[in-house]
Amino acid sequence: MPRKLIALVTGLLTAALMLGVVSPATAAPKKVTPKVSLSTPKATVIQWSTSTFKGKVNTKKAVGAKVSVQRKTTKGWKDIKKGKVTKKRTYTLHFQTNSKNSLYRVKVHANKKIRIAYSRTVRVKTKPDPRDIPWTVERAQAQIVKDTNAFRVSQGLNPVTIDSRISKIAQDWSDHMARTRDFQHSKTYNDQIRALGYDFARENIAMGHSPDEVVAAWFASPGHRAAMLDPRVTHIGVGFTASGKYYTQNFGGFWPDEDIE
């Protein structure tokens, strides 16, 4: 383009700007990097359960922006749940935990007004669902003793103490019922427990329940309930055989002094 023509065009543009006919190009809005707060569950959560992350961003420019929970994997950070920043600049994201104590963070995605931003990184601790943990003899015994004492205390009675010798008698009978598939009371438990130094014995048996349900089933039955709520019993023994879920609950007690002639 000839120099004279360039000078003419430049002069005309300058004059147009001075007269307000042409405005300079509007400058692009400046992006900001928001700060992202994060509130997480304080307690250990059950594996594969739903967990919730909540938080807030510090700028209105983030309203409507995409936000996601990210989990750290061997291949980097992965989005596992997405949402949006609300008009109040908050977010709430519900997601499923995994079986590990994984690292998580919240990502606010970039848009025309904001840059990418991240919350702090947190580790969500998880534990197995108790319903998925196999019932060992020891765990079943502890559960049944705990539930039995809870019922006794709720009725104003003293808790009973586990006696491993009575538990051995109870376990032998549960094993016998599972082996023979003969569901009935032992004919010898009273003599066996009295031989340990107790004045008398009581027995409950059950089959088919889970260890965390069997005490409630006994409690719903008048005869079994009476055995568990006998104020004279002081000690308990429990037998549990997983095959067939056979239970034996034995008590040892002492006659009150006024009952002794």
Q: What is the pLDDT of residue 43?
A: 77
- SS3 sequence, 160-189? CEECHHHHHHHHHHHHHHHHHCCCCCCCCH
Closest listed residue to residue 186, CA positions, set 137, 234, 250: 250
For the segment 87-101, what is each residue's pLDDT rounded down to a tens digit?
999 999 999 888 778
- Separation CA 30–CA 113 (nearest Å): 7
Identity at 122, one-letter amino acid code: V
Q: What is the pLDDT of residue 48?
A: 83
Closest listed residue to residue 247, CA positions, set 200, 213, 212, 214: 214
Q: What's the pLDDT band for 83 if we cut at 50, 70, 90?
A: very high
Average pLDDT over residues 181-187: 95
Task: Read off the pTM.
Answer: 0.56
49: its two tokens: 């359960």
53: its two tokens: 């992350």
- Separation CA 203–CA 170 (nearest Å): 9
Q: What's the pLDDT band for 216 if we cut at 50, 70, 90?
A: very high
Strand bridging mode 233-241 / 161-162 = parallel
Residue 112 gets the label, from left (phi > 0), alpha (psi -120 to 50) or beta, of: alpha
Does the pLDDT value for residue 22 go beyond 50?
no
Does the pLDDT value for residue 27 go beyond 50?
yes
How many CB atoms lie under 10 A from the CB of residue 158? 11
SS3 155: coil
Stretch among 129-138, 165-174, 192-201 having the lowest mean pLDDT: 129-138
Select the highest-mean-pLDDT range: 11-20, 128-137, 197-206: 197-206
Q: What is the pLDDT of residue 176?
A: 97
The dihedral through the CA atoms of 257, 156, 171, 209 has a sign that is positive
102: its two tokens: 């994984």
Residue 190, exposed/middle/buried by CB under 10 A (0-12, 13-18, 19+)? middle
Does the pLDDT value for residue 17 go beyond 60?
no
From first CA to last CA, the distance across the chain in angstroms is 132
Closest listed residue to residue 129, CA positions, set 70, 36, 47: 47
